Copies of this chain bind each other. A is one copy, B any other.
Amino acid sequence: MPTILGQNQYGKAENRLVKVVRDGDTHHIKDLSVSVALSGDLDEVHYSGSNAHVLPTDTAKNTVYAFAKEHGIASAEAFGLLLARHFVESTEPIQRARIRVEEYAWERIAPGAGEHAHSFVRTGRETRLAQITYDGEGFEVLSGLKDLTVMNTTASEFWGYIKDRYTTLREDYDRILATSVTSWWRHSWDGGAAQPETEPETGRETEPEPDWDACYARTREHLLRAFADTYSLSLQQTLYQMGSRVLESRAELDEIRFSMPNKHHFQQDLSFCGIENQAKDGAVYHAADRPYGLIEATVLRDGARARIPVDLTNL
């Protein structure tokens, strides 16, 4: 046979799931999109079409809903851990499961005195992300976010760059810096896989799960504050400050990767009609769509191994 099968996986993507928890009259909700990808001993389904080793993607979908009801959704990460382990441990040919979760944020209508117990409005803020991979030995847990759109209206410069035949850009000492952050960060926690010899009896129990929700909230806060606090000479510098702030503040994280478009805001030239439009006086900007700068980088704890894929956006 002149051709062979390489890496492969399959599953059900974008299971849209809302779970309501009733605590007396007070309701709580989780609003998720859950994607399952499975791999293992699956050569034959590719070579001959035999489905003997295939758990249908329809079953994966049913499992997601059933697990949400049976086990609840403590957090995006905790739910992913349950699902990933289930698929590998319950289905013999499946040797690896990857669960990706998107979570959409809602808040109560009229918080405060008139707060409603079962009425919600979607906030529209960034989408929370989680990816859990299990291979029968240990877990890899990534958390992240996308569409966190931020802007500094000053405290950003760009100058001192290479000029060549094709350079027309003018140096700028007071520009808008805006981006829409996509970021993934990796937890060192692996469910205990790393130390099987040293504590053979207790196994995974020696490493309790981190508080995923608290970690997310703090990381988000660090990202925002680092973006705001950095007097920026380049978007790369801001990115690195955001990454290092997160790793320095969250000991449980080893690595963080960013994909940050430079959402250009061009100062409109109004001199044609005699109007000065200077940043120092408060200016008018054209918010451009395309093309856009795109800055991507990983920040690592010294000694850690980079494991987050380099391509966070479409190939």
Contact = CB atoms under 8 A, between A and B. Distances in A.
A228 B116 contact: yes
A176 interface: yes
Nearest to A296: B9
A103 B54 CA distance: 35
A18 B176 contact: yes
A291 B61 contact: yes
Contact of A7 (B63, B106, B280, B297): B297
B224 A121 contact: yes
Interface in A44-89: 45-59, 61-63, 65-66, 68-70
A8 to B, nearest CB: 3
A168 B273 CA distance: 9
Contacts of A284: 17-20, 65, 68-69
A300 B4 contact: yes
Nearest to A106: B151
Contacts of A4: 299-300, 302
A217 to B, nearest CB: 13
A104 to B, nearest CB: 9
A154 interface: yes
Give the secondary structure class of A's interface: mixed
Nearest to A157: B49
Contact of A66 (B161, B270, B285, B290): B270
Nearest to A120: B151
A165 B166 CA distance: 33
Interface stretch (A188-196, A206-214, A233-241): A233-241
A122 B106 contact: no
Stoichiometry, copies per complex: 4
A259 B122 CA distance: 18
Given A18-B284, A27-B154, A151-B29, A124 B126 contact: yes
A306 B66 CA distance: 37
Contact of A301 (B3, B21, B149): B3
A99 interface: no
A298 B7 contact: yes
Interface string A285-299: 111111111111111
A58 B302 CA distance: 33
Contacts of A54: 161-162, 234, 236
Interface string A1-32: 11111111111111111111110000101010
B153 A298 contact: no
B162 A109 contact: no
